[in-house]
Amino acid sequence: MQANQENIQAMDELAQRLFPICRSLTGDGVRETLRVLQKRIPVEIHEVPTGTRAFDWTVPKEWNIRSAFVETTDGKRILDFADNNLHVVGYSTPVDETVSYETLRQHLHTLEDQPDAIPYVTSYYREDWGFCLEHRKFEKLDKDADYRVVIDSTLSEGSLTYADLVIPGESTEEVLFTTYICHPSMGNNELSGPIVNTFLADWVQSLSERKYTYRFVFAPETIGALVYLSRHLDHLKANVVAGFNASCVGDGKDYSYIASPDENTYADRIIRHVLAMGGTGFTPYSFLERGSDERQYCAPNVGLPLVTFCRSRFGTFPEYHTSLDNLDVISGLEMNNSLKVLQRCCRAIEDNVVLKNVLIGEPQLGKRGLYPATSKVGEYEKVRVLNDIIAYAEGKRDLLAISDIIGAPTWTTSRLADELVQSGVLAVVKQGPHSARHGSATKS
Amino acid sequence: MQANQENIQAMDELAQRLFPICRSLTGDGVRETLRVLQKRIPVEIHEVPTGTRAFDWTVPKEWNIRSAFVETTDGKRILDFADNNLHVVGYSTPVDETVSYETLRQHLHTLEDQPDAIPYVTSYYREDWGFCLEHRKFEKLDKDADYRVVIDSTLSEGSLTYADLVIPGESTEEVLFTTYICHPSMGNNELSGPIVNTFLADWVQSLSERKYTYRFVFAPETIGALVYLSRHLDHLKANVVAGFNASCVGDGKDYSYIASPDENTYADRIIRHVLAMGGTGFTPYSFLERGSDERQYCAPNVGLPLVTFCRSRFGTFPEYHTSLDNLDVISGLEMNNSLKVLQRCCRAIEDNVVLKNVLIGEPQLGKRGLYPATSKVGEYEKVRVLNDIIAYAEGKRDLLAISDIIGAPTWTTSRLADELVQSGVLAVVKQGPHSARHGSATKS
Amino acid sequence: MQANQENIQAMDELAQRLFPICRSLTGDGVRETLRVLQKRIPVEIHEVPTGTRAFDWTVPKEWNIRSAFVETTDGKRILDFADNNLHVVGYSTPVDETVSYETLRQHLHTLEDQPDAIPYVTSYYREDWGFCLEHRKFEKLDKDADYRVVIDSTLSEGSLTYADLVIPGESTEEVLFTTYICHPSMGNNELSGPIVNTFLADWVQSLSERKYTYRFVFAPETIGALVYLSRHLDHLKANVVAGFNASCVGDGKDYSYIASPDENTYADRIIRHVLAMGGTGFTPYSFLERGSDERQYCAPNVGLPLVTFCRSRFGTFPEYHTSLDNLDVISGLEMNNSLKVLQRCCRAIEDNVVLKNVLIGEPQLGKRGLYPATSKVGEYEKVRVLNDIIAYAEGKRDLLAISDIIGAPTWTTSRLADELVQSGVLAVVKQGPHSARHGSATKS
């Protein structure tokens, strides 16, 4: 409880610290963001030069921006980057001109349906400049006036920045957690992912033992994921048993996840179980609804066993990709709830084993001290779960599959399975899932 | 559109030309029908002598009829074969007698529920004579009178007549189209099948290239199919990748098909996709609802991968097997719509390939000219389909399976897949379905 | 009909004969019960000494009881074992004391919700004494009085008693029928099971031929089943093709069964078919709802292909485990209906074969005398079933699977399949199910 309260407050503070920074695919905003995270977890920060190939893609020029504004010719400021970094189209080329309304309008982006929202717009792969503003403000512009437009940005050779952290465990088999750090001042998409994964890494480090190695990646979306994959693909394909990409995990809406194309990798099985047993309801999306970095981690010829974990999936909440996705949308409380889901995923993986009955016929629980002497509330349920674990532990199913069948969460069954192993009723056949560990090979 | 109008009119004309001919299992009506079709497509006409064995069956005697009538003794004609060839029970033996009402009644067939319809009745395997008439007319017969009954028919050694046409393609693998030509003056069942398949053959011939060989069979139902199979079974089993039997394809009702026993042969997969994507709704029937020549082509120890394509399935429309199934029930317009379904099946087969991604990670569509420069309506949908094809093209699924998953018709995906292959994003692993080509081996 | 009436009356009489006997895990009540059954079927009765190991369990002391009562100090009898043997907690140790109300109350069991019912309570594995009575009677006890409690029982070295009967057939492959004989005066749970299985054994013996060997086991629940398994496990695993445990089969409620863990063993397939085709509706329960001896016969490392057959499943009817489960709950009529279900299971197993078409294409039924000359009601249905059997008899499916597909009961299809075999249309590929005979290997 205490830890919860501390986490919640610390997450809120981290969100406030990171929110104002102007992040993009590249540039100092990304670097600053990663250095802030580095104060909490020992991520390693990497720089990849402009022009570096990553499969079909190339690392773009680095973009930085100091200031930007639009003014009337008599100096009245229409909008200012200093107020909200969404006012400038990401990757805008530098400009300092006085232009007519007609010309200006070609470079303005608004949302007619959400007249008080500044849209989030980028132009990564076509060199251009532009501004984003509230439609209500746009409608009040004097159509006969000229305007001074200034963007003090640089777009030049530089590097793309990402960070990772590998926390070793007993096995070289890895659990992968990814998220992206390229979105400017927006909360749910995407400060929530980096914050939750930072706290998750902190927690993983604090565990007294780890059966698996844990890898955390904080990179710009798409090109960052591709760069990371291009550097680590063989290793990841050989070692990752399950991966979880976090995106939009800070609002208070129902949980959801985007399945892998296979829909039945170890990661799919784990998150489906954890969300189903969590008791809060959840929405499973098919890979057809993809849109975040699962696009790269699950891409053909990559095919990692990874799912994307969300609350409101990107694109489904009204504040998405606008200035309305601010700190009011997210909270430390809800980021902490999302953290707990990923912690349960970790525990489910750590605790998963294939179990086998040692005895023939039902065991006599009483003589082994497993049958309650007195009938307290909850004890009958415990005996039911004990007996159901025994009934389905035939040496081929893993605890996860048994738990799915008997309708009990792994965070209960793993403790009871331990008791049964200690009592000589069950034996552990192997650590991990019941079949080969990767991708489609883990179909149940 | 022009071609459509021409087809529609030509189909209507062909229906009018064929309707009056008295067809049966054998005889000159079949020959005349096939010669009419021969004017449009170069079918080869075959004669199989009476007594020839076809598995468990034997080619029956040949039946021909010149005239038939029932008269009162004072010469008032009650019914006349010249008015409607359904008036005579098919395969009626010759007769020229004066009989009592009681005797006559033993030889009359009517439909009490449809008093204005002449039923369609045959007696292929029991030698007898009979007449069919409207129940309303039957009720008015004078029960005390005698009647003269005349059937000027012959039932004697002769032959069974069928036609086929093989249109070669690059491969010896075949697509089979069957229908039957043994029904007298009825429209939906069964002038529609022969007419649609004739125009389909015409279209197949007109294609500038064909990956597959196409085989068309026009034969009497049951015994004709068995004769054909007995002559070609090994060849068909070795070469047919998918077969489609056409029956009752001329009315304007929803589409339907009768699955193979396996329910998942290549033919099942193709027609299910084409009908599902057609947007008009359709009824899938199990093989338990069989009734046409799928009974033979899918019989045990035959087992061709064939489905029957229908609009209103035989037996489900009120005019079925009566004189009410006349030219009003069918139309060139609707036969042309059915034709388009089978053309789509052909195209789906021609265009089906197993696809594999060449690149690692998502490709950059923009630099390959596949991403729309301007956002027109429909362009976003195109990009979605392009990306979905890429996401699911992992070297094992065929385009048909990918299209089913992503919910896009093969007539769209095949064009886009071509673009992706041309752009070096995808490679073709093999022509055809993802697994072995026959029967149950093609389960997806 | 006559046989039915005789069975119904004889079942009623057997129920009346067995009802008063005080059965328990061990003791003379069990012996007497088995000797009564022995008058009808030649079961062999076995004695297993106290202390004998059965896997994780040990045969307990033998318990016998002559009399028991509770009296006021002035000799007014509160309850008497002679009235209802449920009044004494099973396995009560001997006692003869005068105790206060407070002390007595610690040893009394009642049901507040069913104040007129005596509950059924046992204390097999903790030595103690106790009485059970109606809650209404309990409430009237004088709280200030003392009471004399007498239980004239013995709990000492002795033996556990069970019976079995093996009725040989052509094959050493076995069909197993089990039930339990350890419940005192209660009807549905559990006189119905022993009575139905006794009459089933009688019927099996009367069959003129048996393809399979039939084994019947009448043993105390849990420890009796474990003792039986410990003596016969290898034999049973090697020979049992399907097993049926009978419990609560005497009331007039809908049929139900408890699936094996695998849910698709031969026993599951058989009973599912028989109940589905019976036309009366039924409830399938998962193994998660287990509670009778399927717990042992389907236990890990035992894994026999066995289901439990019930009407109202144990625990689901209000009279369960109380004195209200008396002879009014069950009837000879309903036990006879349950008997018929198990007879159909036997017949389905005896008659099940894998079938294959001999001919190519559809056979000509007419020339083989299989097509009705005249169209009587029911004849068309017969032809449909004949044709459907032929359509699906491709050499891999067994008659049970074919019957499931075509929606006809095996008690119809087996007769028609015989006709088709006699006519040379079908051939029998093998006796029995389509795949290996045991447990999960029989998945369809």
Reported as a single tens digit per residue, the pLDDT across C175-221 is 999 999 999 999 999 999 999 999 999 999 999 999 999 999 999 99
Residues of B in contact with A226 (CB under 8 A): 361-362
The span from the CA of A429 to the CA of A423, in Å, is 16
- Say which of B287, B290, B302 has its CB closest to residue C360: B302
Residues of C in contact with B229 (CB under 8 A): 360-361
User: In B67-89, which positions are buried (b, 16+ CB within 10 angstroms) versus exposed (e)?
Assistant: ebbbbeeeeeebbebeebbbbbb
Residues of B in contact with C360 (CB under 8 A): 55-56, 229-230, 233, 299-302
Quick one: pLDDT band at residue B125, thresholds 50, 70, 90? confident
Chains that touch C (3 or more CB pairs under 8 A): A, B
* Whole-structure pTM value: 0.94
Closest CA–CA distance from residue C302 to any residue of chain A (Å) = 6
User: In A405-441, which positions are buried (b, 16+ CB within 10 angstroms) versus exposed (e)?
Assistant: bbebbbbebbebbebbeebebbeeeebbbbeebbbbe
Residues of C in contact with B55 (CB under 8 A): 359-361
- B417: tokens are 């897949």
Under 8 Å between Cβ of C131 and C79: yes
- Say which of A56, A229, A261 has its CB closest to residue B363: A56
- A229, B361: Cβ pair inside 8 Å? yes
- C361, B303: Cβ pair inside 8 Å? no
Predicted confidence (pLDDT) per residue in B27-52, tens digit: 999 999 999 999 999 999 999 999 99
pLDDT for C373? 62
pLDDT for C438? 46
Residue from A285, A301, A302 whose CB has the most chain B CBs within 10 Å, to mutate: A301
- C300, A393: Cβ pair inside 8 Å? yes
Residue from A121, A237, A265, A288 whose CB has the most chain B CBs within 10 Å, to mutate: A288
User: Chain A residues with CB-CB distance to B under 8 A?
Assistant: 54-57, 125, 222, 225-226, 229-230, 233, 261, 287-288, 290, 295-296, 298-303
pLDDT for B231? 98
Chains that touch A (3 or more CB pairs under 8 A): B, C
Which residue from C238, C220, C225, C224 is spatially nearest to C174, judged by alpha carbons? C238
The span from the CA of A310 to the CA of B359, in Å, is 28
pLDDT tens for chain C, residues 1 to 444: 567 899 999 999 999 999 999 999 999 999 999 999 999 999 999 999 999 999 999 999 999 999 999 999 999 999 999 999 999 999 999 999 999 999 999 999 999 999 999 999 999 988 999 999 999 999 999 999 999 999 999 999 999 999 999 999 999 999 999 999 999 999 999 999 999 999 999 999 999 999 999 999 999 999 999 999 999 999 999 999 999 999 999 999 999 999 999 999 999 999 999 999 998 899 999 999 999 999 999 999 999 999 999 999 999 999 999 999 999 999 999 999 999 999 999 999 999 999 999 999 999 998 898 887 655 667 778 999 999 999 999 999 999 999 999 999 999 999 999 999 999 999 999 999 987 544 443 333
Residues of A in contact with C230 (CB under 8 A): 360-361
Which residues, 6+ apart, have CB-to-CB distance to A314 below 8 Å? A189, A247, A248, A291, A292, A320
Residues of A in contact with C55 (CB under 8 A): 359-361
In C, minimum Cα distance to B297 occurs at: C361
Residue from B56, B124, B125, B297 whose CB has the most chain C CBs within 10 Å, to mutate: B56
Cβ burial, residue A275 (10 Å; 0-12/13-18/19+): buried
pLDDT for C372? 72
Model ipTM value = 0.93
- A391, C300: Cβ pair inside 8 Å? yes
Under 8 Å between Cβ of C138 and C163: no
Predicted confidence (pLDDT) per residue in A40-90, tens digit: 999 999 999 999 999 999 999 999 999 999 999 999 999 999 999 999 999
Residue from A362, A386, A403 whose CB has the most chain C CBs within 10 Å, to mutate: A362
The answer on pLDDT for B376 being more than 80 is no
Chains that touch B (3 or more CB pairs under 8 A): A, C
Three-state helix/strand/coil letters over chain B: CHHHHHHHHHHHHHHHHHCCCCCCCCCHHHHHHHHHHHCCCCCEEEEEECCCEECCEECCCEEEEEEEEEEECCCCEEEECCCCHHHECECECCEEEEEEHHHHHHCEECCCCCCCCCECCECCCCCECCEECCHHHHHCCCCCCEEEEEEEEEEECCEEEEEEEEECCCCCCEEEEEEECCCCCCCCCCCHHHHHHHHHHHHHHHCCCCCCEEEEEEECCCHHHHHHHHHHHHHHHHHEEEEEEECCCCCCCCEEEECCCCCCCHHHHHHHHHHHHHCCCEEEECHHHCCCCHHHHCCCCCCCCEEEEECCCCCCCCCCCECCCCCCCCCHHHHHHHHHHHHHHHHHHHHCEEEEECCCCCCCCHHHCCCCCCCCCCHHHHHHHHHHHHHHCEEEEEHHHHHHHHCCCHHHHHHHHHHHHHCCCEEEEEECCCCCCCHHHHCC
Amino acid symbol at A418: D
Q: For residue C98, what is the enclosing H or E element?
A: strand C95-100
User: Chain C residues with CB-CB distance to A under 8 A?
Assistant: 54-57, 125, 222, 225-226, 229-230, 233, 261, 287-288, 290, 295-296, 298-303
Interface A-C: count of C-beta contacts within 8 A: 57
Residues of C in contact with B300 (CB under 8 A): 356-357, 359-360, 390-391, 393-395
Residues of B in contact with C373 (CB under 8 A): none
Three-state helix/strand/coil letters over chain A: CHHHHHHHHHHHHHHHHHCCCCCCCCCHHHHHHHHHHHCCCCCEEEEEECCCEECCEECCCEEEEEEEEEEECCCCEEEECCCCHHHECECECCEEEEEEHHHHHHCEECCCCCCCCCECCECCCCCECCEECCHHHHHCCCCCCEEEEEEEEEEECCEEEEEEEEECCCCCCEEEEEEECCCCCCCCCCCHHHHHHHHHHHHHHHCCCCCCEEEEEEECCCHHHHHHHHHHHHHHHHHEEEEEEECCCCCCCCEEEECCCCCCCHHHHHHHHHHHHHCCCEEEECHHHCCCCHHHHCCCCCCCCEEEEECCCCCCCCCCCECCCCCCCCCHHHHHHHHHHHHHHHHHHHHCEEEEECCCCCCCCHHHCCCCCCCCCCHHHHHHHHHHHHHHCEEEEEHHHHHHHHCCCHHHHHHHHHHHHHCCCEEEEEECCCCCCCHHHHCC
In B, minimum Cα distance to A234 occurs at: B360
Under 8 Å between Cβ of C85 and C184: yes
- B299, C361: Cβ pair inside 8 Å? yes
Residues of C in contact with A359 (CB under 8 A): 55-56, 300-301
- C366, B296: Cβ pair inside 8 Å? no
- C361, B301: Cβ pair inside 8 Å? yes
Percent of chain A whose predicted confidence (pLDDT) is above 70: 96
Predicted confidence (pLDDT) per residue in A394-435, tens digit: 999 999 999 999 999 999 999 999 999 999 999 999 999 987
pLDDT for C435? 76
The answer on pLDDT for B302 being more than 50 is yes
